[in-house]
Structure 1
Amino acid sequence: MPKTEEDFFRGVTGPSPEEQNRLALADALLAKLLAADGRYEIVDLASLKDEIAAARPIYDCNGCEVDLAGKVKAELVMTSVMEKISETHLSLTVALVDVANSKLVSTSSVLIQGNTDESWLHGVRWLAKNRLLAEGKGK
């Protein structure tokens, strides 16, 4: 709920602490599901931690995610955006980009109904199973 009249018109900026936690849970689950499938290898980005932090927000860095992925010799870079449409409706969109060619490979999205840990994780499981890991998809 907006706290001030200004928040009502421009929206509350940034995720709440609960949503920050959900982002971490969703990220961990997606990485686990992709790695378990065997078609994707998750690359360790620890060496790029400071560069990634400096580039945030990634969706607004003009393709820097491709350059960063190239530094760790990744073939694909996956980025995601969680858009809060309302308190009970969110949209998760995942994009895969071929690093060598800087070319979009695919985009997938899911509508998440409910702003709870379980609804977010359900959305991630659905997206992984029905889009990212669906037959004919993946590396």
Structure 2
Amino acid sequence: MAVFDFELIDSSLEGELTGPKAEETARLEMLGERLRAAFASAEGFEVVDVEPVREDASRRNLQACGGCDRALAAELGAEWAVTGTVQKVSNLILNINLYVRDVATGERLQTMSADIRGNTDESWQRGLDWLIRNRLAIGK
């Protein structure tokens, strides 16, 4: 599987006024690394390195690019493409979304979401960890 970096969907007033924040960019990277590690340590999953297509993927909106996530995953030899977003409504209201798609057919195999409260490293980690345990059913 190819687990791509998370993308931020910032519809907050703060985001409109100030643009991307360095700490949120770092949190997006942390989520991707954490999810890749969870899949890699779970039995039955093989995670391919997305580095060869990382720059290309970062220039696109993987949720609305007409299947470019599948094309990039196929380029890496993956059977599944895993993408994720963090939607920021405000510094208090955010949600983490994960999508698992079959590369060959384009079928969404899983779609899941976790609402989180607070724009902190801890809240982002807890939200992703909850999805890993309770929706993906991997990990601790």
Unpaired runs of 5+ residues, structure 1, are 1-6, 135-139
Judge conservation of contact 1:98–1:105 (CA < 8 Å) in 2: yes
The DSSP-based 3-state class of the residue aligned with 2:48 is coil
The DSSP-based 3-state class of the residue aligned with 1:65 is helix
Q: Judging changes above 3 Å, is the alpha-carbon distance between structure 1 residues 106 and 72 closer, same or farther for their aligned structure 2 residues? A: same
Q: Judging changes above 3 Å, is the alpha-carbon distance between structure 1 residues 101 and 8 closer, same or farther for their aligned structure 2 residues? A: closer
Q: Which amino acid aligns with 1:76?
A: W
**Aligned to 1:102, which of 98, 106, 110?**
106
Q: More helix by proportion, 1 or 2?
A: 1
Higher RCO (CA < 8 A, seq sep 6+): 2
Unpaired runs of 5+ residues, structure 2, are 1-11
Judge conservation of contact 2:13–2:90 (CA < 8 Å) in 1: no
Q: Judging changes above 3 Å, is the alpha-carbon distance between structure 1 residues 107 and 13 closer, same or farther for their aligned structure 2 residues? A: farther
Give the count of matched residue pairs: 127
How far apart, in 1, do the equivalents of 2:55 and 2:87 lie?
A: 25
What is the Cα-based RMSD across aligned positions, in Å?
2.1
How far 1:14 sits from its partner (Å)? 4.7
How far 1:34 sits from its partner (Å)? 1.6
Runs of 4+ that moved beyond 6 A: none
The DSSP-based 3-state class of the residue aligned with 1:31 is helix
How far apart, in 1, do the equivalents of 2:14 and 2:120 lie?
A: 24
